[in-house]
Chains A and B, each alone.
Chain A
Amino acid sequence: MFALIRKDLLLETRSKETIASLFLVGLLILFIFILSLNVEQSRVLEVAPGVLWAAIVLASLLGLGRTFLIERENGCLAALLLAPIDRSSIFLAKFLVNLLLMLTFEALLLPAFALFFALDVLPALPKLCTVLLAGSIGLAAAGTLFALAALNTRSRELMLPVLVLPLEVPLLLACVHATEAVLRGASLASVGRWAVYLVGFDVLFVISAWLMFEYLDLDG
Protein backbone atom coordinates (compact mmCIF):
# COMPACT_ATOMS: atom_id res chain seq x y z
CA MET A 1 0.00 0.00 0.00
CA PHE A 2 2.77 2.43 0.82
CA ALA A 3 4.35 1.65 -2.49
CA LEU A 4 1.24 2.96 -4.10
CA ILE A 5 1.17 6.13 -2.03
CA ARG A 6 4.82 6.71 -2.64
CA LYS A 7 4.40 6.30 -6.37
CA ASP A 8 1.43 8.67 -6.53
CA LEU A 9 3.25 11.31 -4.53
CA LEU A 10 6.29 10.91 -6.71
CA LEU A 11 4.19 11.44 -9.82
CA GLU A 12 2.50 14.46 -8.32
CA THR A 13 5.59 16.20 -7.03
CA ARG A 14 7.18 15.73 -10.38
CA SER A 15 4.42 17.28 -12.42
CA LYS A 16 2.59 19.36 -9.82
CA GLU A 17 -0.28 19.44 -12.27
CA THR A 18 -3.04 18.59 -9.87
CA ILE A 19 -2.04 20.89 -7.09
CA ALA A 20 -1.53 23.83 -9.40
CA SER A 21 -4.89 23.39 -11.10
CA LEU A 22 -6.69 22.89 -7.81
CA PHE A 23 -5.21 26.03 -6.38
CA LEU A 24 -6.00 28.09 -9.42
CA VAL A 25 -9.56 26.87 -9.60
CA GLY A 26 -10.07 27.47 -5.91
CA LEU A 27 -8.73 30.97 -6.25
CA LEU A 28 -10.96 31.70 -9.20
CA ILE A 29 -14.03 30.44 -7.41
CA LEU A 30 -13.34 32.61 -4.40
CA PHE A 31 -12.85 35.53 -6.71
CA ILE A 32 -16.06 34.95 -8.65
CA PHE A 33 -18.07 34.67 -5.48
CA ILE A 34 -16.67 37.86 -4.09
CA LEU A 35 -17.46 39.68 -7.27
CA SER A 36 -21.00 38.43 -7.43
CA LEU A 37 -21.89 38.83 -3.78
CA ASN A 38 -22.27 42.28 -2.35
CA VAL A 39 -21.54 42.01 1.32
CA GLU A 40 -20.55 44.66 3.74
CA GLN A 41 -17.62 43.88 5.92
CA SER A 42 -19.70 43.72 9.07
CA ARG A 43 -21.76 40.86 7.71
CA VAL A 44 -19.00 39.06 5.90
CA LEU A 45 -19.01 36.10 8.26
CA GLU A 46 -22.46 35.19 7.07
CA VAL A 47 -21.24 34.29 3.62
CA ALA A 48 -17.51 33.71 3.85
CA PRO A 49 -17.56 30.19 5.29
CA GLY A 50 -20.02 29.08 2.64
CA VAL A 51 -17.87 30.51 -0.11
CA LEU A 52 -14.77 28.86 1.28
CA TRP A 53 -16.35 25.45 1.33
CA ALA A 54 -17.93 25.93 -2.07
CA ALA A 55 -14.48 26.60 -3.44
CA ILE A 56 -12.98 23.60 -1.67
CA VAL A 57 -15.68 21.21 -2.79
CA LEU A 58 -15.79 22.35 -6.40
CA ALA A 59 -12.06 22.30 -6.80
CA SER A 60 -11.74 18.94 -5.13
CA LEU A 61 -14.29 17.44 -7.49
CA LEU A 62 -11.88 18.23 -10.26
CA GLY A 63 -8.90 16.82 -8.45
CA LEU A 64 -10.36 13.67 -6.96
CA GLY A 65 -10.97 11.96 -10.24
CA ARG A 66 -7.36 12.29 -11.22
CA THR A 67 -5.85 9.70 -8.95
CA PHE A 68 -7.76 7.01 -10.75
CA LEU A 69 -7.46 8.61 -14.13
CA ILE A 70 -3.70 8.14 -14.09
CA GLU A 71 -4.25 4.47 -13.47
CA ARG A 72 -6.62 4.20 -16.40
CA GLU A 73 -3.86 5.24 -18.77
CA ASN A 74 -1.84 2.27 -19.93
CA GLY A 75 -3.95 -0.14 -18.00
CA CYS A 76 -2.27 0.45 -14.66
CA LEU A 77 -5.52 -0.17 -12.84
CA ALA A 78 -5.43 -3.74 -14.08
CA ALA A 79 -1.87 -3.91 -12.78
CA LEU A 80 -3.11 -2.87 -9.35
CA LEU A 81 -5.79 -5.53 -9.46
CA LEU A 82 -3.17 -8.09 -10.40
CA ALA A 83 -0.86 -7.09 -7.59
CA PRO A 84 -0.84 -8.85 -4.22
CA ILE A 85 -2.65 -6.00 -2.54
CA ASP A 86 -6.15 -5.96 -1.06
CA ARG A 87 -8.76 -3.98 -2.92
CA SER A 88 -9.48 -1.98 0.19
CA SER A 89 -5.81 -1.13 0.52
CA ILE A 90 -6.00 0.36 -2.93
CA PHE A 91 -8.81 2.53 -1.66
CA LEU A 92 -6.86 3.52 1.43
CA ALA A 93 -3.84 4.50 -0.59
CA LYS A 94 -5.83 6.59 -3.04
CA PHE A 95 -7.86 8.11 -0.23
CA LEU A 96 -4.75 9.17 1.68
CA VAL A 97 -3.14 10.65 -1.40
CA ASN A 98 -6.32 12.55 -2.20
CA LEU A 99 -6.53 13.77 1.38
CA LEU A 100 -2.97 14.97 1.30
CA LEU A 101 -3.58 16.82 -1.94
CA MET A 102 -6.70 18.43 -0.57
CA LEU A 103 -5.00 19.55 2.61
CA THR A 104 -2.11 21.03 0.68
CA PHE A 105 -4.55 22.82 -1.57
CA GLU A 106 -6.45 24.17 1.42
CA ALA A 107 -3.26 25.33 3.07
CA LEU A 108 -2.51 27.36 -0.04
CA LEU A 109 -6.05 28.64 -0.36
CA LEU A 110 -6.50 29.76 3.22
CA PRO A 111 -4.22 32.82 3.05
CA ALA A 112 -5.99 33.91 -0.13
CA PHE A 113 -9.32 33.44 1.55
CA ALA A 114 -8.28 35.49 4.55
CA LEU A 115 -7.00 38.17 2.27
CA PHE A 116 -10.01 38.40 -0.02
CA PHE A 117 -12.52 38.53 2.79
CA ALA A 118 -10.31 40.67 5.00
CA LEU A 119 -10.64 38.22 7.85
CA ASP A 120 -8.22 37.67 10.62
CA VAL A 121 -8.04 33.93 10.86
CA LEU A 122 -4.96 33.64 12.99
CA PRO A 123 -6.63 33.44 16.40
CA ALA A 124 -8.95 30.72 15.24
CA LEU A 125 -6.32 28.89 13.20
CA PRO A 126 -5.98 25.61 15.13
CA LYS A 127 -9.72 25.10 15.36
CA LEU A 128 -10.16 26.11 11.76
CA CYS A 129 -7.58 23.60 10.67
CA THR A 130 -9.37 20.91 12.62
CA VAL A 131 -12.61 21.67 10.83
CA LEU A 132 -10.84 21.69 7.48
CA LEU A 133 -9.26 18.36 8.26
CA ALA A 134 -12.52 16.77 9.32
CA GLY A 135 -14.37 18.07 6.30
CA SER A 136 -11.63 17.01 3.92
CA ILE A 137 -11.61 13.47 5.26
CA GLY A 138 -15.30 13.09 4.49
CA LEU A 139 -15.00 14.68 1.06
CA ALA A 140 -11.96 12.62 0.17
CA ALA A 141 -13.53 9.34 1.26
CA ALA A 142 -16.73 9.80 -0.71
CA GLY A 143 -14.88 11.32 -3.64
CA THR A 144 -12.34 8.53 -3.91
CA LEU A 145 -14.99 5.84 -3.85
CA PHE A 146 -17.19 7.45 -6.43
CA ALA A 147 -14.36 8.65 -8.64
CA LEU A 148 -13.95 5.06 -9.69
CA ALA A 149 -17.69 4.73 -10.27
CA ALA A 150 -17.69 7.86 -12.39
CA LEU A 151 -14.81 6.67 -14.55
CA ASN A 152 -16.84 3.63 -15.44
CA THR A 153 -19.50 5.72 -17.13
CA ARG A 154 -19.66 7.27 -20.55
CA SER A 155 -19.58 10.75 -19.13
CA ARG A 156 -16.59 9.92 -16.94
CA GLU A 157 -15.52 12.82 -14.77
CA LEU A 158 -18.80 14.63 -15.28
CA MET A 159 -20.55 12.03 -13.22
CA LEU A 160 -18.49 12.60 -10.12
CA PRO A 161 -20.20 15.79 -8.92
CA VAL A 162 -23.59 14.27 -9.68
CA LEU A 163 -22.83 11.19 -7.62
CA VAL A 164 -21.02 12.70 -4.73
CA LEU A 165 -22.51 16.12 -4.02
CA PRO A 166 -25.95 14.98 -2.83
CA LEU A 167 -24.34 12.59 -0.39
CA GLU A 168 -22.03 15.28 0.89
CA VAL A 169 -24.73 17.87 1.51
CA PRO A 170 -24.96 17.12 5.21
CA LEU A 171 -21.20 17.22 5.51
CA LEU A 172 -21.05 20.60 3.86
CA LEU A 173 -23.79 21.89 6.09
CA ALA A 174 -21.83 20.85 9.13
CA CYS A 175 -18.54 22.23 7.82
CA VAL A 176 -19.92 25.62 6.94
CA HIS A 177 -21.59 26.05 10.29
CA ALA A 178 -18.60 24.79 12.19
CA THR A 179 -16.35 27.15 10.26
CA GLU A 180 -18.66 30.05 10.95
CA ALA A 181 -18.77 29.23 14.64
CA VAL A 182 -15.00 28.97 14.80
CA LEU A 183 -14.46 32.24 12.99
CA ARG A 184 -16.85 33.99 15.29
CA GLY A 185 -14.69 32.87 18.13
CA ALA A 186 -17.25 30.53 19.63
CA SER A 187 -16.11 28.18 22.33
CA LEU A 188 -15.39 24.58 21.64
CA ALA A 189 -18.57 23.57 23.40
CA SER A 190 -20.91 25.32 21.02
CA VAL A 191 -18.97 24.10 18.05
CA GLY A 192 -19.08 20.75 19.77
CA ARG A 193 -22.33 19.55 18.23
CA TRP A 194 -21.04 20.07 14.73
CA ALA A 195 -17.66 18.62 15.61
CA VAL A 196 -19.18 15.42 16.88
CA TYR A 197 -21.33 15.23 13.81
CA LEU A 198 -18.35 15.68 11.52
CA VAL A 199 -16.44 12.94 13.25
CA GLY A 200 -19.44 10.64 13.00
CA PHE A 201 -19.85 11.38 9.33
CA ASP A 202 -16.19 10.82 8.60
CA VAL A 203 -16.04 7.52 10.43
CA LEU A 204 -19.14 6.26 8.65
CA PHE A 205 -17.95 7.26 5.23
CA VAL A 206 -14.39 6.09 5.50
CA ILE A 207 -15.39 2.72 6.85
CA SER A 208 -18.20 2.27 4.31
CA ALA A 209 -15.99 3.22 1.41
CA TRP A 210 -13.21 0.96 2.65
CA LEU A 211 -15.60 -1.97 2.97
CA MET A 212 -17.33 -1.28 -0.31
CA PHE A 213 -14.09 -1.38 -2.20
CA GLU A 214 -13.57 -4.93 -1.15
CA TYR A 215 -17.14 -5.94 -1.98
CA LEU A 216 -17.14 -4.19 -5.29
CA ASP A 217 -15.23 -7.14 -6.67
CA LEU A 218 -13.50 -4.99 -9.21
CA ASP A 219 -12.97 -6.52 -12.58
CA GLY A 220 -10.06 -6.08 -14.90
Chain B
Amino acid sequence: MKMTGDMNALTKRFEKLILALIPIPTSLAVLTSLWAVFLWVPTERNLGIVQRIFYYHVPSALACYVGFIIAALASIAYLARGKQVYDHLARAGVEVGMLFASMVLITGPLWAKPSWGTYWTWDARLTTMFVLWLVYFAYLLLRAFSRDDEMGKRFAAVLAIIGTLDIPLIVLATRLWQGAHPAVLQSTKADSGLKDPAMGITLAICMLAFALLFTWLWTLRFSVLRMTEAVEELEYRNDEALAS
Protein backbone atom coordinates (compact mmCIF):
# COMPACT_ATOMS: atom_id res chain seq x y z
CA MET B 1 0.00 0.00 0.00
CA LYS B 2 2.83 2.35 0.87
CA MET B 3 4.36 2.03 -2.53
CA THR B 4 1.22 3.13 -4.28
CA GLY B 5 0.75 6.01 -1.94
CA ASP B 6 4.14 7.08 -3.13
CA MET B 7 3.17 6.47 -6.72
CA ASN B 8 0.16 8.68 -6.30
CA ALA B 9 2.19 11.43 -4.73
CA LEU B 10 4.90 11.02 -7.33
CA THR B 11 2.53 11.36 -10.25
CA LYS B 12 0.87 14.34 -8.63
CA ARG B 13 4.16 16.13 -8.37
CA PHE B 14 5.13 15.26 -11.93
CA GLU B 15 1.73 16.34 -13.11
CA LYS B 16 2.03 19.74 -11.50
CA LEU B 17 5.59 20.15 -12.71
CA ILE B 18 4.78 19.25 -16.28
CA LEU B 19 1.66 21.35 -16.50
CA ALA B 20 3.51 24.32 -15.11
CA LEU B 21 6.60 24.05 -17.26
CA ILE B 22 5.42 22.65 -20.53
CA PRO B 23 3.05 25.16 -22.15
CA ILE B 24 5.71 27.69 -23.11
CA PRO B 25 8.29 25.38 -24.62
CA THR B 26 5.59 23.50 -26.48
CA SER B 27 4.10 26.65 -27.94
CA LEU B 28 7.54 27.83 -28.97
CA ALA B 29 8.34 24.49 -30.55
CA VAL B 30 5.08 24.37 -32.43
CA LEU B 31 5.43 27.92 -33.69
CA THR B 32 8.99 27.22 -34.73
CA SER B 33 7.85 24.12 -36.55
CA LEU B 34 5.19 26.09 -38.38
CA TRP B 35 7.79 28.57 -39.50
CA ALA B 36 10.24 25.84 -40.43
CA VAL B 37 7.77 23.76 -42.38
CA PHE B 38 5.97 26.50 -44.23
CA LEU B 39 8.49 29.26 -44.55
CA TRP B 40 11.97 27.93 -44.18
CA VAL B 41 12.54 24.46 -45.52
CA PRO B 42 12.99 24.22 -49.29
CA THR B 43 10.41 22.43 -51.38
CA GLU B 44 11.26 18.89 -52.24
CA ARG B 45 12.04 18.52 -55.90
CA ASN B 46 10.08 15.45 -56.81
CA LEU B 47 7.02 15.58 -54.66
CA GLY B 48 6.39 19.29 -54.47
CA ILE B 49 4.73 21.35 -51.83
CA VAL B 50 2.57 18.52 -50.60
CA GLN B 51 5.65 16.82 -49.26
CA ARG B 52 5.56 19.20 -46.33
CA ILE B 53 2.82 17.12 -44.80
CA PHE B 54 5.54 14.57 -44.16
CA TYR B 55 6.93 16.76 -41.41
CA TYR B 56 3.72 16.33 -39.49
CA HIS B 57 2.84 12.86 -40.66
CA VAL B 58 5.92 11.14 -39.26
CA PRO B 59 6.03 12.79 -35.83
CA SER B 60 2.32 12.05 -35.42
CA ALA B 61 3.03 8.39 -36.00
CA LEU B 62 5.78 8.49 -33.45
CA ALA B 63 3.61 10.23 -30.88
CA CYS B 64 0.93 7.63 -31.49
CA TYR B 65 3.29 4.72 -30.92
CA VAL B 66 4.64 6.32 -27.79
CA GLY B 67 1.12 6.75 -26.50
CA PHE B 68 0.22 3.13 -27.09
CA ILE B 69 3.42 1.79 -25.62
CA ILE B 70 2.97 3.92 -22.53
CA ALA B 71 -0.59 2.63 -22.29
CA ALA B 72 0.64 -0.95 -22.51
CA LEU B 73 3.25 -0.42 -19.80
CA ALA B 74 0.78 1.32 -17.54
CA SER B 75 -1.71 -1.48 -18.17
CA ILE B 76 0.83 -4.06 -17.08
CA ALA B 77 1.38 -2.05 -13.92
CA TYR B 78 -2.35 -1.84 -13.42
CA LEU B 79 -2.84 -5.58 -13.70
CA ALA B 80 0.10 -6.20 -11.42
CA ARG B 81 -0.64 -3.61 -8.74
CA GLY B 82 -4.28 -2.79 -9.19
CA LYS B 83 -4.00 0.88 -8.38
CA GLN B 84 -6.28 3.29 -10.18
CA VAL B 85 -3.51 5.73 -11.06
CA TYR B 86 -2.06 3.27 -13.56
CA ASP B 87 -5.41 2.84 -15.21
CA HIS B 88 -5.68 6.59 -15.65
CA LEU B 89 -2.21 6.72 -17.18
CA ALA B 90 -3.08 3.94 -19.59
CA ARG B 91 -6.37 5.41 -20.62
CA ALA B 92 -4.89 8.85 -21.20
CA GLY B 93 -2.16 7.21 -23.25
CA VAL B 94 -4.64 5.42 -25.47
CA GLU B 95 -6.85 8.43 -25.98
CA VAL B 96 -4.04 10.78 -26.92
CA GLY B 97 -2.47 8.02 -28.98
CA MET B 98 -5.71 7.64 -30.88
CA LEU B 99 -5.72 11.36 -31.55
CA PHE B 100 -2.35 11.16 -33.20
CA ALA B 101 -3.25 7.95 -34.99
CA SER B 102 -6.22 9.70 -36.52
CA MET B 103 -3.92 12.47 -37.62
CA VAL B 104 -1.67 9.99 -39.35
CA LEU B 105 -4.63 8.39 -41.08
CA ILE B 106 -5.85 11.78 -42.27
CA THR B 107 -2.51 13.21 -43.37
CA GLY B 108 -1.55 9.99 -45.11
CA PRO B 109 -4.25 10.06 -47.77
CA LEU B 110 -3.92 13.83 -48.09
CA TRP B 111 -0.31 13.30 -49.01
CA ALA B 112 -0.89 10.21 -51.10
CA LYS B 113 -3.46 11.65 -53.48
CA PRO B 114 -1.48 14.48 -55.00
CA SER B 115 1.74 12.47 -54.90
CA TRP B 116 0.67 9.10 -56.23
CA GLY B 117 -2.84 9.64 -57.47
CA THR B 118 -4.63 7.47 -54.97
CA TYR B 119 -5.92 8.27 -51.52
CA TRP B 120 -4.94 5.00 -49.94
CA THR B 121 -2.02 2.66 -50.32
CA TRP B 122 -1.60 -0.58 -48.51
CA ASP B 123 1.93 0.03 -47.45
CA ALA B 124 3.35 -1.14 -44.16
CA ARG B 125 3.02 2.08 -42.24
CA LEU B 126 -0.50 3.05 -43.19
CA THR B 127 -1.83 -0.46 -42.84
CA THR B 128 -0.23 -0.88 -39.45
CA MET B 129 -1.63 2.43 -38.33
CA PHE B 130 -5.06 1.53 -39.56
CA VAL B 131 -5.13 -1.80 -37.78
CA LEU B 132 -3.83 -0.22 -34.61
CA TRP B 133 -6.47 2.44 -34.88
CA LEU B 134 -9.09 -0.32 -35.00
CA VAL B 135 -7.57 -2.14 -32.05
CA TYR B 136 -7.53 0.90 -29.83
CA PHE B 137 -10.89 2.08 -30.99
CA ALA B 138 -12.07 -1.26 -29.69
CA TYR B 139 -10.33 -0.36 -26.42
CA LEU B 140 -12.35 2.83 -26.18
CA LEU B 141 -15.55 0.96 -26.95
CA LEU B 142 -14.75 -1.66 -24.37
CA ARG B 143 -14.30 0.98 -21.73
CA ALA B 144 -17.49 2.70 -22.75
CA PHE B 145 -19.62 -0.43 -22.70
CA SER B 146 -18.26 -2.45 -19.80
CA ARG B 147 -20.76 -3.26 -17.12
CA ASP B 148 -18.62 -4.10 -14.15
CA ASP B 149 -16.20 -1.30 -13.36
CA GLU B 150 -13.30 -3.27 -11.99
CA MET B 151 -13.27 -6.17 -14.45
CA GLY B 152 -13.97 -3.81 -17.34
CA LYS B 153 -10.81 -1.87 -16.62
CA ARG B 154 -8.78 -5.05 -16.35
CA PHE B 155 -10.04 -6.40 -19.64
CA ALA B 156 -9.24 -3.08 -21.25
CA ALA B 157 -5.75 -3.31 -19.81
CA VAL B 158 -5.34 -6.75 -21.38
CA LEU B 159 -6.45 -5.36 -24.72
CA ALA B 160 -3.98 -2.50 -24.49
CA ILE B 161 -1.14 -4.90 -23.76
CA ILE B 162 -1.99 -7.39 -26.47
CA GLY B 163 -2.56 -4.55 -28.92
CA THR B 164 0.99 -3.36 -28.41
CA LEU B 165 2.38 -6.88 -28.60
CA ASP B 166 0.55 -7.16 -31.89
CA ILE B 167 2.40 -4.22 -33.42
CA PRO B 168 5.48 -6.14 -34.58
CA LEU B 169 3.23 -8.91 -35.84
CA ILE B 170 1.24 -6.50 -37.94
CA VAL B 171 4.33 -4.85 -39.34
CA LEU B 172 5.84 -8.22 -40.18
CA ALA B 173 2.72 -9.47 -41.86
CA THR B 174 2.31 -6.39 -44.01
CA ARG B 175 5.98 -6.53 -44.97
CA LEU B 176 5.64 -10.16 -46.03
CA TRP B 177 2.55 -9.18 -47.93
CA GLN B 178 4.34 -6.33 -49.63
CA GLY B 179 6.99 -8.74 -50.78
CA ALA B 180 4.33 -10.67 -52.62
CA HIS B 181 2.68 -7.70 -54.31
CA PRO B 182 5.27 -5.12 -55.21
CA ALA B 183 3.29 -3.68 -58.08
CA VAL B 184 0.27 -2.74 -56.05
CA LEU B 185 2.03 -1.01 -53.25
CA GLN B 186 4.07 2.09 -53.25
CA SER B 187 6.70 3.03 -50.83
CA THR B 188 6.02 5.98 -48.65
CA LYS B 189 9.36 5.55 -47.04
CA ALA B 190 9.87 8.94 -45.63
CA ASP B 191 13.61 8.92 -45.40
CA SER B 192 14.06 8.37 -49.07
CA GLY B 193 14.49 11.97 -49.97
CA LEU B 194 16.10 13.90 -47.18
CA LYS B 195 18.70 15.47 -49.33
CA ASP B 196 18.84 18.93 -47.87
CA PRO B 197 20.12 19.13 -44.29
CA ALA B 198 17.44 21.71 -43.65
CA MET B 199 14.92 18.96 -44.09
CA GLY B 200 16.55 16.92 -41.39
CA ILE B 201 16.52 19.85 -39.04
CA THR B 202 12.89 20.60 -39.78
CA LEU B 203 11.98 17.03 -39.09
CA ALA B 204 13.84 17.17 -35.81
CA ILE B 205 12.04 20.35 -34.80
CA CYS B 206 8.70 18.78 -35.58
CA MET B 207 9.58 15.64 -33.67
CA LEU B 208 10.42 17.77 -30.67
CA ALA B 209 7.26 19.82 -31.01
CA PHE B 210 5.11 16.71 -31.22
CA ALA B 211 6.89 15.03 -28.35
CA LEU B 212 6.17 18.04 -26.17
CA LEU B 213 2.65 18.27 -27.46
CA PHE B 214 2.03 14.64 -26.68
CA THR B 215 3.37 15.01 -23.16
CA TRP B 216 1.23 18.03 -22.54
CA LEU B 217 -1.96 16.46 -23.84
CA TRP B 218 -1.30 13.22 -22.05
CA THR B 219 -0.69 14.94 -18.75
CA LEU B 220 -3.77 17.10 -19.18
CA ARG B 221 -5.94 14.10 -19.91
CA PHE B 222 -4.49 12.24 -17.00
CA SER B 223 -5.14 15.11 -14.63
CA VAL B 224 -8.73 15.37 -15.82
CA LEU B 225 -9.26 11.67 -15.19
CA ARG B 226 -7.76 11.99 -11.77
CA MET B 227 -9.84 15.02 -10.92
CA THR B 228 -13.00 13.27 -12.05
CA GLU B 229 -12.21 10.43 -9.73
CA ALA B 230 -11.61 12.84 -6.86
CA VAL B 231 -14.88 14.65 -7.51
CA GLU B 232 -16.81 11.39 -7.49
CA GLU B 233 -15.15 10.47 -4.25
CA LEU B 234 -16.19 13.76 -2.70
CA GLU B 235 -19.73 13.44 -3.99
CA TYR B 236 -19.96 10.01 -2.50
CA ARG B 237 -18.64 11.10 0.86
CA ASN B 238 -21.16 13.90 0.82
CA ASP B 239 -24.00 11.46 0.19
CA GLU B 240 -22.73 9.25 2.98
CA ALA B 241 -22.56 12.13 5.42
CA LEU B 242 -26.08 13.23 4.60
CA ALA B 243 -27.46 9.73 5.04
CA SER B 244 -26.06 9.27 8.51
> What residues of chain A have their CB less than 8 Å away from a CB belonging to chain B?
142, 145-146, 148-149, 152-155, 159, 162-163, 165-167, 169-171, 173-174, 177, 193-194, 197, 200-201, 204-205, 208, 212, 215-219
Contacts and interface: CB of A to CB of B under 8 A. Distances in A.
Interface stretch (B37-45, B87-95, B144-152): B144-152
Contact of B163 (A145, A167, A177, A212): A167
Nearest to B134: A166
B201 interface: no
23 contacts: A146-B159, A149-B155, A152-B147, A153-B146, A153-B147, A154-B145, A154-B146, A159-B145, A166-B134, A166-B137, A167-B135, A170-B170, A170-B174, A171-B169, A174-B176, A197-B173, A197-B176, A200-B169, A208-B161, A215-B79, A216-B155, A217-B79, A217-B82
A218 B165 CA distance: 22
A167 B80 CA distance: 23
B141 to A, nearest CB: 6
A173 B128 CA distance: 12
A142 B166 CA distance: 11
Given A154-B147, A216-B154, A217-B154, A173 B173 contact: yes
Contacts of A216: 79, 151, 154-155, 158
Nearest to B159: A163
Q: Which residue, A173, A194, A217, has most C-beta atoms of chain B within 10 A?
A: A173
Contacts of B132: 166
B176 A194 contact: yes
Contacts of A166: 131-132, 134-135, 137-138, 163
Contacts of B135: 166-167
A174 B175 CA distance: 11
Given A153-B146, A159-B145, A166-B131, A212 B173 contact: no
A170 B173 contact: yes
Contact of A201 (B131, B137, B155, B169): B169
A90 B172 CA distance: 31
Contacts of A146: 155, 159
A43 B176 CA distance: 22
A177 B177 contact: yes
B21 interface: no
B177 to A, nearest CB: 6
Given A155-B145, A163-B142, A166-B135, A218 B172 contact: no
Interface residues of B, number: 35
Nearest to A204: B165
A197 B177 CA distance: 12
A161 to B, nearest CB: 9
Q: Which residue, B80, B131, B165, has most C-beta atoms of chain A within 10 A?
A: B131
Closest 7 CB pairs of A and B: A170-B173, A166-B134, A149-B155, A166-B135, A153-B145, A215-B79, A173-B173
Given A177-B177, A216-B154, A219-B150, A170 B172 contact: yes
Given A153-B146, A204-B165, A173 B154 contact: no
Nearest to A180: B180
B94 to A, nearest CB: 14
A153 B176 contact: no
A170 B131 CA distance: 9
B158 A149 contact: yes
Nearest to A149: B155
Nearest to A193: B176
A192 B163 CA distance: 26
Contacts of A159: 141-142, 145
A44 B135 CA distance: 32
A21 B24 CA distance: 61
Interface in B92-142: 131-132, 134-135, 137-138, 141-142
